With several copies, the nearest count.
Chain A
Amino acid sequence: MSVPIPGADCTLDELMVVTFSRAMSNDTRAFNGAVSYIPVCGYLLARKTHAPDLVWAASSIGIDADPPALGESTLSDSIWEGSTMLSNSPFDFWTYAQGAIYNTFAFRGAQIDRYGNVNNTVIGSFDEPKVRLPGGGGMADLSTMTPRIYIWSTTHNPRTFVDKLDFRSGMGWGNGGDHRALLGLPGGPQLAITSLCVMDFEPESKRMRFKSLHPGVTVEMVQEATGFEVLVPDGEIPTTDLPTADELRILRVEVDPTASRLREFA
């Protein structure tokens, strides 16, 4: 389902991918898990534009993969094409992850709180769940090991952005403030890129804060769609920068010609 961006020649999925891509840098070393089209497209786009040395391990295995298209899984062997290394999971991957050599991890969740923690485990109580979700997978591991965390969500609404998680499957800034550092964990969430806006984290409290609003979105619209107060920075909140024609072409033609990224907007 493709959502047009008002006054721009692109759709929401494209805006989110490009925004993600621009947050990456030439020293980004990333991997990905299941159902991660926005970051996977973002890594590939960044590598093909401003960050040629960016490392991406497709499904955490296929280093420097360059698949001609993405399919119905970002965790499968179908996206390994063009890899320079098929790395071994127990030996290579977990060493690079634990050693923070892989420095970038992106996750989303059924619930996200103000500190960038996420829940992908249950709605309701763990022992008697109302809804049993897929589970955290490697989220509890990789969110503690990786210094640069990015959160994305294609469903910015009060069901997703909640005041209190039913379960903390993935670690963002924890309870906020110094919590992460006190546990000896590196870095923390950098940005949350959603269907409405981009948020960063206020340096002291580590609470979500407006960074930019997607075209046509207002602060009030976001606040209404969010189960907690999003901090408002000093000065005006800019509009999220639009993709360039070049970025759109590369994304549409080279990175994701079958528009697999729309699977995240089901």
Chain B
Amino acid sequence: MTKVRNLEDAVAMVPDGATIAIGGLSMNATPMAFVREVIRQEKRDLELLAIVNGMAIDWLVAAGCVRRVIAGLVSFEGLGLAPNFRRAVQAGTIEFEESSEHILISRLQAAARNLPFMPTKAGLGTDVLGINKGRLRVDSDPDTGEQYVAALPLPVDIAVVHVHEADEHGNARVNPKLIWMDSEVVNAATTTIVTTERIVPHRSFTAEPHRTTYPRFMVDAVVPAPWGAYPTSSFPEYTHDKSFYEEYVAAAGSGREEFELFFKNRVAGPATHAEFIDANGGAGKIIEIRRRTS
């Protein structure tokens, strides 16, 4: 029984109000085709976990899909701040649970491993602890008196991650191997959807079983999504689209109408991911962002 779904059907699996975790890190490896379809299907009241991200969060906030964001860092790095996210938090129109990377990882691990908490030294002495009451606890070891942070479980309804190859059973792999923190959200999630650059035959996994990242039993749906991380990168195949980030930031800085037009024409409007890439440079862009395999 194949787990292959088209993008529309996979996004339809996300109920309004769900806690959804988006993989990738900053300008890398984010399932942007999926994110765009979430916008097109006008999902609402999502709780969005993205440990370190920018564009995915900003899109979903701009489109009004998000009730609450959980993250450690939200920015476009040197290319700017995430403008819609920033404005929404400042205006109080979305909730923001700021945490830090290792506290989030530890909370996900506690959820994935059926533990009441995971200990870490992360955050001791910082104000991150004070704004996360109820989600962590500062405790001390009864034998040594050593202080630690008990990171409490963070369960996730749906994890969405982008991979390079998957088979119809749900076996999936990231080339050259898993690098970012995506496995943590997959492990903590009830349901996992992978978007994939390509579907490959099952024998491709048995031929190189040490390269498999997620076994089939961790994956509920496989969505073909070529260039599906665009405008973020998918190492080692293509890099992020610097000019998209720059033009997006510029549009957001030019006023509300200008941004809404940009967002309609360049992000949410195009019906398919291919049309979306066409709206941002088409084949020329694909050639521009291609990188030599390394």
Contact = CB atoms under 8 A, between A and B. Distances in A.
A121 interface: yes
B72 interface: yes
A34 B294 contact: no
A171 B90 contact: no
Given A29-B217, A89-B179, A138-B100, A169 B127 contact: yes
A253 to B, nearest CB: 21
A136 B184 contact: no
B216 A168 contact: no
A180 B82 CA distance: 33
A183 B124 contact: yes
B186 to A, nearest CB: 10
Contacts of A7: none
Contacts of B112: 95, 98-99
Interface in B70-95: 71-75, 77-79, 81-82, 85-86, 89-90, 92
B100 A137 contact: yes
A243 to B, nearest CB: 24
B26 A73 contact: yes
Interface stretch (A13-21, A76-84, A202-210): A76-84
A53 B170 CA distance: 12
Interface stretch (A123-131, A151-159, A219-227): A123-131
B17 interface: no
Given A35-B78, A72-B79, A73-B77, A98 B113 contact: yes
Interface size on B, as a range, is 35 or more
Interface string A180-195: 1001111000000000
Nearest to A27: B217
Contacts of B55: none
A63 to B, nearest CB: 5
Contact of A72 (B72, B113, B126, B242): B242
A135 interface: yes
Interface string B165-184: 00001010000111111011
A117 B126 CA distance: 9
A85 B166 CA distance: 12
Nearest to A63: B215
A88 B122 contact: no
A42 interface: no
B98 interface: yes
Contacts of B75: 34, 134-135
A143 B89 CA distance: 26
Interface stretch (B37-45, B233-241, B250-258, B278-286): B233-241
B209 A99 contact: no
Interface in A145-174: 145, 167-171, 174
Nearest to A167: B127
Given A136-B128, A138-B102, A169-B127, A84 B72 contact: no
A31 to B, nearest CB: 12
Contact of A88 (B86, B109, B120, B179): B179
B205 to A, nearest CB: 4
A88 B178 contact: yes
A263 B10 CA distance: 40
A228 interface: no
B86 A169 contact: no
A139 interface: yes
The 5 A-B residue pairs with the shortest CB-CB distance in the complex, in nearest-first order = A137-B73, A134-B75, A141-B102, A85-B212, A77-B235
Given A73-B26, A136-B128, A263-B78, 19 more contacts: A75-B25, A76-B239, A80-B235, A84-B209, A85-B171, A86-B176, A87-B179, A91-B183, A92-B215, A99-B187, A130-B90, A137-B100, A139-B100, A140-B100, A144-B123, A144-B124, A145-B121, A168-B125, A169-B128
Interface of A: 29, 34-35, 53, 55, 61-64, 71-78, 80-92, 94-95, 97-101, 117, 121, 126, 128-145, 167-171, 174, 179-180, 183-186, 263
